[in-house]
Structure 1
Amino acid sequence: MRILALLLACGLFLSACETIKGVGRDVENAGEAIDDALDD
């Protein structure tokens, strides 16, 4: 049972890392789009 819980926790942690990376990319892209809009 402990092994199953550990594997589940690791899976959630890894998926959360990917989600956070995706949000970081989205925020970066939005910032660049705003910066480009202000430059025009």
Structure 2
Amino acid sequence: MQKNNQHNVKMEFGNMHKNGVLNLYIIHKRIGNDKNNMEN
């Protein structure tokens, strides 16, 4: 049981990390788009 629990925590953490990176990427792109819009 303990082993299974740790595995689930690792998977949860992995998903959080992936989502965090994705969010950073999306935010970064959005900021880039805002800058481009200001210049035009």
- Shorter-chain TM-score above 0.5: yes
Q: How many residues align?
A: 32
TM, length-normalised to structure 2: 0.72
Q: Which runs of 5+ in 1 are unaligned?
A: 33-40
Structure 2 unaligned regions, length at least 5: 1-8
Question: Aligned Cα RMSD in Å?
Answer: 0.6
Q: What is the CA–CA distance in structure 1 between the aligned matches of 2:33 and 2:18, rounded to whole Å?
A: 23
User: What's the offset of the Cα at 1:11?
Assistant: 0.5
Deviation at 1:15, TM superposition (A): 1.0
What is the percentage of aligned positions where both structures have the same residue? 16
Aligned to 2:21: 13
